[in-house]
Homo-oligomer: A and B are copies of this chain.
């Protein structure tokens, strides 16, 4: 086998990366972005066409000048299977190099037992493998829990024990990329959502507890083993209060349905999300007071994260959006009040996430595409053919 020369496909890989970042981009736009001469652009696209990585279709003309072409993934090009596992359902989509979700599927769990769910996911992977063969280059899986080296460590909503997620791709030989759903929805926001273009972004999502991630140039800070972003377990709260995670005083305990129930002197709800929505609909003083306390804890915590990370923007998802909306002034006051003085003149905006239901799926796809459009992966794809 001929050894692959260093960087041979670097520019080709860069072109593909552009395609994933801006679906529907034209060849001329790519050339401008990468500062390629038109000659180089001609050559690199021809090469990519030859190896079935992209096709070109005439672009609608925009004013004078010879019309350019729109770059599109090749119909025989590589694809990724993106999976999003949730508490009561799971979703899947096939993703080509432009990041568009094809053939999206939604399925309810019939059983929530880990082994049954795993089996269903494995079947989905096997079907994709059958359908796409060697075009299927990667499976990317979002899960609602702490992920570490493709193992699920803690999944409070699913109530599963530690679980090896690689069984999802077992027998297919397709590489797996598993990640936390909050982290991945953050990736989606940072790439094509409310935090698009931000150098540093903080993403937070409240469902049961709070999840999130720090994103630097669209790349999540995953930590040593992929378990980074557990902001819910920073001790922003009352240190006397134990958290199921094992620590004490976690922020988690101050900002979700369990906190509302505690403030309302009710037992811990079975479904904290539904419970929160219910409390948000109430208009009585006790409910409003409980919401105020939770929103205050949210605003202060976000301010602390802004102090620590100095992001361009903060994006929030899940229950954080209606919670803030229910007490906007309270939130603004807590957020401002928690900021260091010099941040106050132009505090980073706290924006609602734009990808809401698709976030984890799109983020999972984006991280997989990062790998597929790396130089070694492109070189390997060419060699494989």
The interface of chain A, by Cβ under 8 A from chain B, is: 1-3, 5-7, 10-11, 13-14, 17-18, 21, 34-36, 146, 148, 153-154, 162, 198-200, 214, 216-219, 221-231, 233-236, 239, 245-249, 300-301, 303-305, 307-312, 337-344, 348
Contact = CB atoms under 8 A, between A and B. Distances in A.
Contacts of A227: 310, 342-343
A331 to B, nearest CB: 15
Contact of A338 (B199, B218, B247, B337): B247
Given A214-B309, A228-B310, 14 more contacts: A1-B218, A1-B219, A3-B17, A5-B10, A5-B11, A6-B36, A7-B10, A146-B340, A154-B341, A227-B310, A228-B309, A234-B308, A239-B300, A247-B339
B340 A247 contact: yes
* Main DSSP-derived SS at the A contact region: loop
B337 A230 contact: no
A218 B245 CA distance: 29
Nearest to A296: B239
Q: Taking the full assembly, how many copies of this chain does it contain? A: 2
Contact of A236 (B34, B36, B228, B234): B234
Contact of A310 (B10, B11, B223, B245): B223
B248 A308 contact: no
9 contacts: A6-B11, A148-B310, A200-B223, A223-B309, A224-B310, A224-B312, A230-B308, A235-B301, A249-B300
Given A148-B342, A235-B300, A304-B235, A337 B217 contact: no
A227 B199 CA distance: 13
A144 to B, nearest CB: 16
Contacts of A311: 223-224
